[in-house]
Chain A
């Protein structure tokens, strides 16, 4: 690289950090507001410049008042039984992800490696599953579930959540199987292993990390999912995302009063586990989305 003078490098860094700061503000600001309003801190007097006055003519004094309180977080956890919602969501996610993995991993492998017929049909069906709006499916499901007594049960919602995660799970794991170098498959095949043995003893073990990443991503999807769980759950099996929206407002006769402090406190509590998982898997997530193409045509 051509050697640059110290001054131009300083200017470059200044511009770069300036741009990074603006981008960070854009990404993080709404979340910051959420956390801060959960503590009932109102910064608007500062931003409008109206909160600052002076005492005795020269001492700057902030008259807006900042009185942080954790009462809204406590409310969310006690009155609005946030822990129970979290437990509900975890149970639903566990059932749903288990079903998706049991049915999906083998299919993902078959789509990636085994020369069976009808692969494209399965791909089409998974794609249609992704393209279908939840509403198209949830209304008939709602009718069936209420008749069958599955409405507002963990099992019912967990099955319906397959709508959301099944295609993602199969696609991502399929990509992880494709990422395994062909040499390994060929070596196993030449050693006399059957396709099933290759799957069971070689490929499956190699994609276990990928399966974990996929499962965690599916967990975040279910954790944040609103439509399916809103319609298919009631007071018993309500999930976090639904609780954040519906549990914290009061329906009066004509309109809904939304209590923003509680909403933001609950939102923060709902966001923390999701961001923790996302930060954990972000390096592998892009690889999962590469559908097994990233490493091949390099």
Chain B
């Protein structure tokens, strides 16, 4: 930053202006976090114990939840990237009405995640789809209750929801950074596909913004909740922990709300802290990225 600061003596006031934000952060972040850590280290009698963590680590459902969360997060981010970049490629092609298509591609971004869980449910789109594949194409019916079917569908619906965001960001990067080179390549007779793969795609993937969004997607889908919650209803896993729909968040939700488990608040807090540790671990990558961008 090579700027002129004539009045840098008056910076004290700026610290005061940060205070309101810190107060809000204290209420919604520090207090609940510390309180959660405190609860996780307290037993029923109110004395210090690590029993909650021991219980958590001895619970096979916890490990299943971690596996499901990681698979869900990595899978949906990759699929989201592929779909988003495909949409980007289609929208950058020079045809009539591409702004209309761009607007249509935005549609999923306004769907709330819980609704995405409803829309992709067996009784919504798959009803018609399987009718088509079975009666017209004479394929056998697919078992909707098998994880082999519903786990990929959950991943695709999460990716469907956020692919427009990837598209918007990729488009802005292309428009600001790759347009001129791409036009020069067009003059030399390079095809649309070649120009996208050799010029636009590397620019997009190398841009800090896109990497930032990708890491954000990883973090957000690591703690994904709404779509797995909806699917736990469709496939009948509302009250069992350790099922293939249980991400860490849903695992927590079930511990809290399924009466069978009696809301074990210490255990819930311990799992919460574990979830926090996992997400912060991913977030470390984000911090290093932010350093590189120079955002901080």
Contact = CB atoms under 8 A, between A and B. Distances in A.
Which interface residue of B18, B207, B293 has the most chain A CB atoms within 10 A? Answer: B18
A224 B280 contact: no
B238 interface: yes
Given A182-B3, A271-B115, A289-B169, A129 B25 contact: yes
Interface string A124-150: 111111111111111111011000000
B11 A116 contact: yes
Contacts of A34: 115, 118-119, 124
A267 B114 CA distance: 10
Contacts of A24: 101, 104-105
Contacts of A224: 110-113, 115
B18 A133 contact: no
Nearest to B18: A107
A180 interface: no
B59 interface: no
Contact of B128 (A28, A43, A116, A271): A43
Interface stretch (A14-22, A54-62, A69-77): A14-22
B176 A275 contact: no
A132 B176 contact: no
Size band of the interface chain A makes with B: 35 or more
Interface string A25-37: 0111111011001
B36 interface: yes
B143 interface: no
B20 A23 contact: no
Given A48-B132, A270-B115, A31 B108 contact: yes
A235 interface: no
B47 interface: no
Contact of B107 (A31, A136, A162): A31
B70 to A, nearest CB: 14
A189 B2 CA distance: 13
Contacts of A196: 10, 13
Contacts of B230: 245
B80 to A, nearest CB: 13
Given A110-B17, A140-B31, A127 B209 contact: no
B106 A275 contact: yes
A168 B249 CA distance: 21
B132 A133 contact: no
Majority DSSP secondary structure for residues of B touching A: helix
A33 B17 CA distance: 49
A256 B233 contact: yes
A220 interface: yes
Contacts of B132: 47-49
B189 A133 contact: no
Contacts, number: 328
Contact of B123 (A19, A129, A260): A260
Given A127-B287, A195-B14, A270-B115, A136 B87 contact: no
Nearest to A297: B177
A159 B24 contact: yes
B112 A270 contact: yes
Given A128-B280, A141-B28, A245 B10 contact: no
B150 to A, nearest CB: 15
A20 B101 CA distance: 7
B287 A139 contact: no
A110 B18 contact: yes
A189 B253 CA distance: 53
Contacts of B5: 115, 189, 195
5 contacts: A20-B90, A49-B132, A125-B29, A163-B28, A289-B213
Top 5 A-B pairs, shortest CB-CB distance: A224-B112, A48-B131, A286-B172, A274-B110, A275-B110
Interface of A: 1-2, 13, 16-17, 19-20, 23-24, 26-31, 33-34, 37, 43-45, 47-50, 99, 102-104, 106-107, 110-111, 113-116, 119-120, 122-141, 143-144, 159-160, 162-163, 166, 170-171, 174, 182, 185-186, 189-190, 192, 194-196, 220, 223-227, 240-241, 244-245, 255-256, 258, 260, 263-264, 267, 270-271, 274-275, 277-279, 282, 285-287, 289-295, 297-298
Interface of B: 1, 3-8, 10-11, 13-15, 17-18, 20-21, 23-25, 27-29, 31-33, 35-36, 39, 83, 86-87, 90, 93, 95, 101-116, 118-120, 123-125, 127-129, 131-132, 134-136, 157, 160, 163-165, 168-169, 171-173, 176-177, 186-187, 189, 207-209, 212-213, 216, 219, 223, 225-226, 230, 233, 236, 238, 248-249, 252-253, 256, 265, 268-269, 272-273, 275-276, 279-280, 282-283, 286-287, 290, 293, 295-296
